[in-house]
Structure formats: structure tokens, C-alpha cells
Amino acid sequence: MKNQYVIYIAAIITIVAVVSSALIYVNYSGQTNNSKPQSSSLTLVDDEGFQTTLTSTPQRIVSLAPSCTQILYAIGVGDKVVGVTTYDNYPYNFAAWAAAGNITIDGGYGTPNMEAVASLRPDLILTDNINDGNNLASLRALGYKVIVFNPTSIAGIYQDIALAGRATGAESQANAVIANITSKIDSITATIAAANITTPMNVFYEVWTPPMMTAGSGTWINDVISKAGGVNIFADQAAYPTVSSETIVARNPDAIFLPTEMGQSPFYGSVAQVEATQGWNTISAVQHNRVYVIDGDLFAEASPRVADCVYAVASCLYPQLFNSTS
């Protein structure tokens, strides 16, 4: 009987000890969890210096620029995108999605439909600087969280991808995208460096005409030309200057790049018309058939496809080094 009593007391002590340990663990765990806020705010600064504070991870994102859409899908948060522009055609056929009722077209590029945007109830809007001015002011006045991308270099594109990652809770995915782009561009530049090219090709990139515009320093296009082993003949000009035909003749580019125009007829007409410009028959690019038409969508969008831009230029400038069909 005494032994049974001892066993009974021992069992009670054991149970009490176990319960006490469990309570200590629960209390300690609760204190640990409570030491971290259930939700915290995140303040981000965009390319125009505007601060946006997010109090939770965005679940309904509106894109007002094709480059922003591409970044969002590249970092794996495309499932949160509820609105895109009529110009979005990569990485999917968004027009077909919209026709099927799977996504909303929120307006044109630079002409957002405010009613469509409002109907989507976005908790984050991404755009590039095309909406600077009234559109951007109106969106912010209505209380929307807006982040603006306006990169001036390839490094700036990386920063925007990283910023999108932070804003959407996809930081690690964004870093992986940046690493992949960097690897591709490094491979291109290494190939060019190994070739020991003593005289790099001089390049003219025609942005628009009339008036004739090009990309100068402080643009990511200028950076693309440089990474591709070329020398921008207007790198001494800022941003997107207007230039004269006579100045182009005097600077004598070895290669001229003309972008297609987003499914429309090219603004320059045709390559033959460009080559027939008065005085251009003396330009090296014209004399050696180095007037190239490139994808206007690709070169109009500061997106994760920037490595493709570098490759496109490099393969034209130095076809002996690159297989443009690979």
C-alpha cells in the first residue's frame, strides 16, 4: 500500500513538472512572438525621390507601364497583378487574358483610365515616369500608393527590380533575377574583352523623328550600347537630345539602330528611306550596310530583358563573336 502511495505521489509530481514546463514554454514562446510586430510598415523611396509607406504586403497591384509588368512577373508576383496597359504584350498575351475576363486593361501607356484603376481597388500602383504630371498627382491625391521607376542606367534597372521585390515581399526572387541578368551581361562583356577589339564601333541610336532624337548620357540605352562594346556618338549629350542630320554625318557612326514602333508603321519609314537621307551616303554605317532594325518594344522598356538588349546590339556590332540565332 505504501509503495502504491509513493508511486501515486511520484506520478503527480511528474505531471506537475510536465505541465509547468509546458506553461513555461508557452509563455516564453508567446513573449518571443509578441516581441515581433504582427505587421510593420515599410517606407520605400522611388526613382523620383517620393516616399511611399506600405503597411502590409500588396495583394492587388496595378501596372501602368509594360516595364513594370515585366518586373512583377519576373520576380514571381504576377498573380497579384490585376491591371495592365493596352501596350503590355510580354511575358503573356494580356489582350487575350482581358478578353477572357482574367485581367483588366487599365488604360493606355501614359493615358491611364482612372475609372478602371479605381474599380481594381489597388493597394499598390507601379509606373514609369510617363505618368509624371497630372496623372501621377491625381493618383496620389486619390490616396493610392504609387511607386515610379525611372532608371538612367542598367544598374538603375537592377535597383528598380530590387525595389519591386521589397515592395511586394519578393526580395529573394528579385535578387535572383538581378543575378541572372548580371551573369548574362558579364558573359557578353567578357566575350568582347577577350576579342581585344582595338577600335570599338561608333553607334547612333535613333529614338524618334521628327525632330530627330537620340539617347545621350544618363540613359539606360547609352549603358546598353557601352556594355555591347559600342561607343555612343552622342554620349556627350544629356538624356534624350534633339540632334541634326548634319551633326550625325559629321560624327560618322559605324552603325545605326532604328527601333520598330510597337506594332505600328516605323516613324522613320524604312531603312532605304533612312539611307537616302541627304548627305548620309557618306556615313560609314550606310556605306557598309550597318543600319539595323531592332525590336522597339524591347528597347522602349527598362525591364529584366535588358540583357537581351545588350546581346541584340553586340551581335550586330560584332557578328563574328555572337550567334544572333542562339
289: domain CATH number? 3.40.50.1980
For residue 116 the three cell numbers come to 478602371
What pLDDT does residue 262 have?
59
Nearest one of 202, 218, 307 to 257, comparing CA atoms: 202
Number of structural domains in the chain: 2
For 247-282, give the secondary structure using H, E and C: HHHHHCCCEEEEECECCECCCCCCHHHHHCCCCHHH
In a domain, 67, yes or no: yes
What pLDDT does residue 6 have?
40
Note the pLDDT tens digit of each residue in 50-95. Answer: 999 999 999 999 999 999 999 999 999 999 999 999 999 999 999 9
For residue 88 the three cell numbers come to 503590355
- The angle subtended at Cα 250 by Cα 244 and Cα 256, nearest 5°, is 75
For residue 163 the three cell numbers come to 525595389
Longest dimension (CA), the chain: 119
Mark whether 160 and 130 lie in a shared domain: yes
Give the Cα separation of 225 and 312 in Å (integer): 10
Residue numbers in the chain where pLDDT is lower than 50: 1-38, 326
What SS3 class is residue 131? helix
Nearest one of 241, 225, 227 to 294, comparing CA atoms: 225
Mark whether 218 and 258 lie in a shared domain: yes
What pLDDT does residue 269 have?
85
204 neighbors 316 (Cβ within 8 angstroms): no
Mark whether 59 and 168 lie in a shared domain: yes
What pLDDT does residue 79 have?
98
Give the Cα separation of 264 and 46 in Å (integer): 32
What is the domain extent for residue 106? 42-176
Mark whether 46 and 164 lie in a shared domain: yes
Question: Which DSSP state fits 129?
Answer: G
Mark whether 201 and 171 lie in a shared domain: no
Burial of 261 (0-12, 13-18, 19+ CB in 10 A): middle
Mark whether 201 and 164 lie in a shared domain: no
Mark whether 58 and 168 lie in a shared domain: yes
Mark whether 49 and 172 lie in a shared domain: yes
pTM recorded for the entire structure:
0.86
What SS3 class is residue 223? helix
For residue 100 the three cell numbers come to 477572357
Kindly list the distances between the CA atom of residue 237 and the CA atoms of 37, 155, 214, 234, 296, in Å, as whole numbers in the listed order. Answer: 50, 20, 9, 5, 22
Size of the chain in residues: 326
Residue type, 138: S
Give the Cα separation of 73 and 179 in Å (integer): 16
What pLDDT does residue 266 have?
82
56 neighbors 41 (Cβ within 8 angstroms): no
Mark whether 104 and 155 lie in a shared domain: yes
Nearest one of 110, 108, 86, 113 to 97, comparing CA atoms: 86
Mark whether 108 and 156 lie in a shared domain: yes
In a domain, 325, yes or no: no
